[in-house]
Amino acid sequence: MANKTAAEKLATIQEGYTLQGATIELGATIVDGEVHKEAQVRLPLAMMNRHGLVAGATGTGKTVTLHMMAEQLSTAGVPVFLADIKGDLSGLATAATANEKLTARTESLGQPWEGKVFPVEFLSLGGDGNGVPVRATITSFGPILLSRIMELNDTQESTLQLIFHFADKQNLELIDLKDLRAVIQFLTSDEGKAELENLGGLSKATAGVILRELVNLEAQGMEKFFGEPEFDTAELLRTAPDGRGVISCLELPTLQTKPMLFSTFLMWLLADLFEDLPEAGDLDKPKLVFFLDEAHLLFNGASKAFLDAITTTVRLIRSKGVGIFFVTQTPKDVPADVLGQLANRIQHALRAFTPEDAKALKATVSTFPVSDYDLEETLTSAGIGEAVVTVMNEKGAPTPVALTRLRAPESVMGPSTDELIRSSIAASPLLGKYGTAVDNVSAYEKLSGQGAAPTGEAAPGQPPVPGSVVQHAVDQNAVDADARRIEEEILGRPSSRPAPQPLPEMPAPPASAPQQDGGGMFGDIAGALGGALGGGLKSMVRSLGTQLGRELLRGVFGTSSRRRR
């Protein structure tokens, strides 16, 4: 490769990053150790659904990079999802304050800087941490993802899929862990022996192993992550009243104790969107961008079925307008089939202290296009807040490799105050929708002959009404209005939610009238409630009157495709 002058190198980068459409501004080029603010490095907004990788050793600035990108996406009207591993992404809700060091950096980059607050929705898995609780039902989570959490082998995973198949066929709703435990206990009992034999290939011994693993999950306190009301992933597509994209920040305070659960739960969110969003083709900007931090947790020890499902999802969700950025230490943390789908690369510094480090460095360099940089030297000498960048341009070709000093965020690079976080959560319209857990009639109650546990006040003879729905009826109207907008403008279909109506009175069924699945009085009540209250009573409506007596269709991860919208 012929040696080029600094001016020639700079001209190549300037030409490669001269783009026509809207962009995410990443920073200024460094050539021969000097920052050139006239050579800005940027990422086309329209190419962010081609996915990406943010990699680098610990402490090199990966989290600050995704923080800065999330701010610009929000400003462009693109909703963002972040997994907050260390708790410092909550600073997006607090404006940063300028200081001498910050001002010197932004001026050297040619960055116009102003402290800003961004619209943040704080979420938490099942209420573990600060945020609106995010829950999923066992049915929608599906057997492949659940097998991943329980670390089942291939034979046990196949057995679990047969168990889900049985529950689907028998209208045994798997809402939480006790429902799945009840179904397995039934199949391994004398009473369920005939049903077990009808499920060809299902071993009682293997079912017993799964049951023990399930009990272990309950003993670890994981039951709170599964249940109702189930989180509607369309909430991640919201925009603020001023048009900026809402940044959904999922706090993961106990990641180190439950890494498998958290990484798999994040994949459920993505898989659910994948099953629901319509094909969108090429858009001027994505509908949503996911940043999956500590991405290696997704792949460590994963089964072939799980890896195949991730690869398929990453490959196909692009056409639905969703971009995924994996955040990890080295590209080798990501399987080759997935890495091949990541068109945008932001590689922070790597360390070469050990033979293994040196091997990872060489593997990383081999994944970049030919460039004017000595990448082995560049990647080991880059400073904090600097990264080697190559992205996909608007014509679908890779841009020149550029060592880049990255822009500074305009919100706080650290946690917001506890008071601000608590007040934001209390003011969230989602709190009324998801804040209170409910326990409706499902497999456990059906197999044990029990009724549903009341979760709110109800007149004698009437189904229990979730207290959160009654208490927050006014907020629910606002949430449903936003849900209608999401369905019509983003999901591209007629809204299933009519204009807000007063809470209907629920007639009590005759004491002697048996409950019938999918019909009769309960079916009529369910239909009326589903139209009047939209998502607010979706869990109870499903339990009362939407049991259609057919096997569920399941998606690429084995997740349920029965729509909860």
Q: What is the DSSP letter of 409?
A: P
Class of residue 183 by CB neighbours under 10 A (exposed 0-12, middle 13-18, buried 19+): buried
Contact 446, 127 (CB under 8 A): no
Count other Cβ atoms within 10 Å, centred on residue 271.
26
Count the Cβ atoms, other than its own, within 10 Å of residue 563: 11
pLDDT value, residue 354: 85
Q: If we measure between CA atoms, which residue out of 458, 472, 471, 480 comes closest to residue 540?
A: 458
**The dihedral sign for the CA sequence 331, 332, 335, 336:** positive
Whole-number Cα distances in Å, 463 to 401, 436, 456:
62, 17, 10
d(CA 270, CA 264): 10
Count the alpha carbons within 13 Å of 292 in the hemisphere toward its beta carbon: 27
**What is the rounded CA–CA span in Å between residue 307 and residue 299?**
7
The tens place of each residue's pLDDT in the chain, 565 residues long, gives 457 898 999 999 999 999 999 999 999 999 999 999 999 999 999 999 999 999 999 899 999 999 999 999 999 999 999 988 777 899 999 999 999 999 999 999 999 999 999 999 999 988 788 899 999 999 988 898 898 888 888 889 888 988 998 998 899 999 999 999 999 999 888 888 888 777 766 788 888 899 999 888 888 778 888 999 999 999 999 999 999 999 999 987 776 677 777 777 888 888 888 888 899 888 999 999 999 888 888 788 777 777 888 888 888 899 999 999 999 988 888 988 999 999 999 999 998 888 888 888 988 898 899 999 999 999 999 999 999 999 999 999 999 999 999 999 999 999 999 999 999 999 999 999 999 999 999 999 999 886 544 343 333 333 333 333 333 344 456 556 655 665 566 555 566 555 655 554 544 544 444 443 334 333 343 343 334 334 433 443 333 333 333 344 567 666 775 444 4
At 530 the pLDDT is 38
Per DSSP, 428 falls in state -
212-221: long-range contacts at Cβ-Cβ below 8 A with a sequence spacing of 24 or more? 213/150, 213/151, 213/152, 214/150, 214/177, 214/180, 214/181, 214/184, 215/181, 216/150, 217/149, 217/150, 217/177, 218/177, 218/178, 218/181, 220/258
Interatomic CA distance for residues 349 and 330, integer angstroms: 10
What tokens were used for 234?
């369309």
* Structure tokens belonging to residue 383: 């400073």
d(CA 322, CA 326): 13
Closest among 83, 459, 397, 75 to 264, alpha carbons compared? 83
CA distances (Å), 292 to each of 53, 262, 298, 317, 376, in order? 10, 11, 9, 15, 26
Q: How far apart are the first and last CA of the chain?
A: 57
Query: DSSP assignment, residue 228?
Result: B
Dihedrals φ, ψ of 289, to 5°?
-125, 125
DSSP SS3 for 45: helix
Q: What does the block give as tokens for 178?
A: 């006790």
CA distance 453 to 471: 19
Matching residue, tokens 């190419």:
47
Whether the CB-CB separation of 262 and 252 falls below 8 Å is answered with yes
Cα 390 from Cα 368, distance rounded (Å): 8
Q: Which of 137, 125, 145, 214 is nearest to 168 (CA)?
A: 137
Rg (CA), the chain: 25
Contact 1, 8 (CB under 8 A): no
- Order the strands of the 23-31 sheet from edge to edge: 34-44, 23-31, 402-406, 386-390, 344-348, 52-55, 322-328, 288-292, 80-84, 247-251, 120-125, 132-134
Pick from 285, 282, 292: nearest CA to 237? 285
CB 312 within 8 A of CB 335: no
Q: What is the rounded distance in angstroms from the CA atom of residue 236 to the CA atom of residue 290?
A: 10
pLDDT value of position 258: 74
The pLDDT score that the predictor gives to residue 221 is: 77
Alpha helical stretches, state H, 486-554: 520-533, 538-545
Residue with the two structure tokens 């972040």: 82
Question: Residue-wise over 281-298: b if at least 16 C-beta within 10 A, else e?
Answer: eeeebbbbbbbbbbbbbb
pTM: 0.80
